[in-house]
Amino acid sequence: MLTAASKLRVVKLAIALEKDDTFYVAGTPHKAKEYVVKVKIGGISGAIAPIIGKNPLDAHVWMAEGAPPTMIRAESQFYVDGPLWRVELCGPTFR
């Protein structure tokens, strides 16, 4: 992935299945999978980032099962040193 921080940088993303989850639309349950996305910064910057507190937070993405795959919810930072934001569709609910 190409990042647009103070200077352009190529980073790797490690995407792994975190857990299965359930969301509801009009009271009807549907299955979703939660994925965790970790940013892997290479080189010297990658070694220094955690020490100085500049390592990006892990992102979480919930995808509805089935075709087509649909993003239901995402929690991520949208800019460097930004807060963790949650973006989700307004119809589905999680319990």
Sign of CA dihedral 56, 11, 67, 19: negative
Question: Three-state SS for 34?
Answer: strand
Helices (H), 1-95: 43-48
Q: From first to last of the 95 residues of the chain, give the pLDDT tens digit.
A: 777 767 788 889 999 999 999 999 888 999 999 999 998 888 887 788 778 877 888 999 999 988 888 899 999 988 878 899 999 887 777 87
Residue 20: alpha-carbon gap to chain centroid: 15
For the chain, how long is the longest CA-to-CA vector?
50
